[in-house]
Structure 1
Amino acid sequence: MTGNTQVAQALTGEPTETPPGPPPQDGSAPMPTEAFDALYTGTAPDLAQQAYLLTGRRRLAREAVEYAFHVAWGRWPEVAIDRNPAGWVRAVTYDYALSPWHRFRPAHRHPDPPPDGRRARGLREALLELPPPYRRTLLLYDGLGIGLPETAAETEASTPAAGNRLLHARALLAEHDPDTTEPEVLRARLAELLAAGPTIVLSAPRAVRTGSERRVRLWTRAAVALTALIVAATAFTLATAPTRYEPPLAPGEAVGGVPVLSGSQPLTQQEQQLRDRLHSEPVNGPPRLVPDSR
């Protein structure tokens, strides 16, 4: 049965074979640090190669893996009871590696130099030209052999959507390299790329746990500082804000032809005569008190 036939069966709702989960282990449960170190040691190198195949950048691949395990250690109670902890960490790694924000970082604008070998170089360049959802779906299904329903769940898509992405990705790769038309050949070529990837040096498990704890402390301190700043700003606003509403004074306007009163007005002729008379006569005496009949 060819790979495209299996995808078509999944799209029509027919059951597909899924790889069995890991067998249960007897004995007492390991300590959280031991379980985390075992998960990191067993999955981090492969995840680094997968992230490199998705991005073509060694530094970004290492950063994505260590970020995923930082998050995993910070949320270890949730990860520890997950039915597939490796898949949980892989999903976070892929999300970080394929984030569109990395294109604005000067160090990650261009991929690393291609590997030796014309065939490997052509396939990797063709992979990097695929849209990120297609690239991720193709790597999960054909590169890692994960079932289509599980691939759809990890990529947060419906099974038909994941199947269509897979078929389109295969068609685009076949345009660049006709040898990858057969799914079996494509899977073998992807396995070769994953196995022949560059050496990516990762931090030790203890260093990753320490970095995760330091990250949590920094975020906690930042949250406390931001909360204190908001409280101080709120208290300052309450202390300086007015306690009652004071409406602003409206500017003067001419109402019904009446001129605006703004300052002293010019004296009329009668008012000027009265002013001159007051200035010319004595300050005290009957003339100032008794009105003149003139």
Structure 2
Amino acid sequence: MTRSTTDEAAVPPLPSPKERRRLREAKSLSEEEVAAAVGVTRATVRSWETGRTSPRGRKRALYAKLIAPEPAVKPRVVKPPAVTPEAAAAAVVVPEAVPEATDLPETPPAAPPADPPPAPAPAPISDTRSGAEAPDERRVSPAEAFDELYARTAPGLVRQTYLLTGRRALARESVERAFELAWQRWPEVAVDRDPAGWVRAAAYEYAMSPWHRLRRTHRQPDAPPTEPGKRALFDALLDLPPAYRRTLLLYDGVGLDLPETAAETEASTPAAAGRLMTARAAVAERLPELADAAPAEQSALLHDRIGGLARAEHVPVPRPARAVRTGSENKARLWTRAAVAGVALLIAVTGLTLHTAPTHYEPPISPPERVGGVPPRGGPQKLTAQDLKLQKSLSEQLAHGPERLVPRLE
């Protein structure tokens, strides 16, 4: 085992991305301060808090130590004063009968209770290392835990997604796809601090994808409510930009606080506050009763109005949890088989190419072409009479300048 592996094993596991951001803001640390302390950029810290990447090595240890929660202060144990022999003798001659107990008060009460309440039984402690459980604790299977989460959150989540998109079919599709993704990553979702928030974030991301505009069934929103007040609120929500609409729905509709809203929308807390105020002002222009209300009253009124709008609208009921789990498993199985088939096809094509490819280079044969006229003479040929006469005259005449050197064979 290398030294880096040993160091990473010694560092405690990091919390979930949302919990990392909450712990940082609880200590009043900005992203720039954390980046300067760890030795990275602000974008890297933001990617750690959104779950895109995770720190490693020395930076992981520094980051874990920086955002670690403050240890709980242990209560101070006050030792009882030492009992002298005189005090012990005085205690023996007390006429009242003292009940046997391990901890007695220093000053006995004036009138002791007739029937003291029994001491609470200690809570069972489960050994996580050996997997021991309490006698009355029932083990819940992953499928049962998933079905319980689905039954508790899926119907309300469909209504929330409908208010976010204005499309009933898309709302149901988004929620079902988010739960399919959650079942594929259930070991990660099950240990998350807020599994319902994990699914909600996945459903919102899928529902707000701009690619749905290319689909014929989701190009236009569904018909708005017929009641004037609800229709005004519905139109005001859909006229907001997607990021502002999501912030308003999470804060005033779902009831999250501002740091959690900012973490789920992947924005800073001041940016989320600015989006919330802008969205409230835009909705207040459509709803006169919100214009003169205080911020706290606006939040309460919007919470009631959004909740009433979500409950009044008829949205499709999501499929049963078993069907969602089966669909998720079928999709995962299909993608796995497609990946295996693609790899097998690639291996077959590579083998066929290696088998049929030539082992040496063969220059291509140039295409034939027609030659016109008399071909030029090339190479040694028999000299004609004219050539012999010219050669003789050149050998007999001297060139201008010094006499040429003629090599001779000896």
For the criterion TM > 0.5, the same-fold answer is yes
Whether 2:329 is the aligned partner of 1:213: answer yes
1:142 pairs with one of 241, 252, 258: 252
Whether 2:151 is the aligned partner of 1:41: answer yes
Whether 2:344 is the aligned partner of 1:234: answer no
Please give the alpha-carbon distance, in whole angstroms, between the structure 2 residues aligned to 1:221 and 1:103: 30
Please give the alpha-carbon distance, in whole angstroms, between the structure 2 residues aligned to 1:173 and 1:194: 16
Please give the alpha-carbon distance, in whole angstroms, between the structure 2 residues aligned to 1:62 and 1:143: 19
Please give the alpha-carbon distance, in whole angstroms, between the structure 2 residues aligned to 1:29 and 1:125: 47
Asked if structure 1 preserves the Cα contact closer than 8 Å seen for 2:158 and 2:315, the reply is no
Whether 2:188 is the aligned partner of 1:78: answer yes
Please give the alpha-carbon distance, in whole angstroms, between the structure 2 residues aligned to 1:243 and 1:228: 25
Residue equivalent to 1:115: 225
Shift in CA distance, 82/265, structure 1 to aligned 2, threshold 3 Å: same
Shift in CA distance, 171/246, structure 1 to aligned 2, threshold 3 Å: farther
Partner amino acid for 1:136? R
Shift in CA distance, 263/87, structure 1 to aligned 2, threshold 3 Å: same
- 5 Å matches for 1:1-294? 27-181=137-291, 182=293, 183=298, 184-245=300-361, 263=371, 265-266=373-374
% identical equivalent positions: 59
Please give the alpha-carbon distance, in whole angstroms, between the structure 1 residues aligned to 2:152 and 2:165: 22
Please give the alpha-carbon distance, in whole angstroms, between the structure 2 residues aligned to 1:69 and 1:267: 83
Unaligned runs of 5+ in 1: 1-9, 15-25, 252-260, 269-294
Residues 120-129 or 236-245, more deviating: 236-245
Superposed CA deviations along residues 48-86 of structure 1, whole A, max 9, x for unmatched, are 000111111111111011101111111111111111111
Partner amino acid for 1:225? A
Superposed CA deviations along residues 195-232 of structure 1, whole A, max 9, x for unmatched, are 22214221111111111111111111111111122222
Unaligned runs of 5+ in 2: 1-24, 30-135, 377-410
**Offset of 1:246 from its aligned partner?**
5.7
Superposed CA deviations along residues 116-164 of structure 1, whole A, max 9, x for unmatched, are 2011011111111111111111100011110111111111111122112
Shift in CA distance, 67/267, structure 1 to aligned 2, threshold 3 Å: closer
Q: CA RMSD in A?
A: 2.7
Please give the alpha-carbon distance, in whole angstroms, between the structure 2 residues aligned to 1:83 and 1:108: 33
Superposed CA deviations along residues 20-47 of structure 1, whole A, max 9, x for unmatched, are xxxxxx8334111110110000000000
Partner amino acid for 1:235? G
Partner amino acid for 1:36? F
Taking structure 2 as the reference length, the TM-score comes to 0.54
Please give the alpha-carbon distance, in whole angstroms, between the structure 2 residues aligned to 1:159 and 1:90: 19
| Bigger-Rg structure (1/2) | 2
Shift in CA distance, 52/237, structure 1 to aligned 2, threshold 3 Å: same
Please give the alpha-carbon distance, in whole angstroms, between the structure 1 residues aligned to 2:248 and 2:274: 11
Asked if structure 1 preserves the Cα contact closer than 8 Å seen for 2:247 and 2:275, the reply is yes
Please give the alpha-carbon distance, in whole angstroms, between the structure 2 residues aligned to 1:93 and 1:110: 19
Partner amino acid for 2:353? T
Shift in CA distance, 166/246, structure 1 to aligned 2, threshold 3 Å: farther
Please give the alpha-carbon distance, in whole angstroms, between the structure 2 residues aligned to 1:127 and 1:246: 71
**Offset of 1:250 from its aligned partner?**
9.7
Superposed CA deviations along residues 167-211 of structure 1, whole A, max 9, x for unmatched, are 221122223333333423222211211222214221111111111
Please give the alpha-carbon distance, in whole angstroms, between the structure 1 residues aligned to 2:375 and 2:221: 87
Higher relative contact order (CA 8 A, sep 6+): 1
**Offset of 1:240 from its aligned partner?**
3.6
Q: Secondary structure at the match of 1:188?
A: helix
**Offset of 1:100 from its aligned partner?**
0.7
Shift in CA distance, 267/237, structure 1 to aligned 2, threshold 3 Å: closer
**Offset of 1:242 from its aligned partner?**
4.1
Partner amino acid for 2:329? E
Q: Which has a greater percent of helix?
A: 1
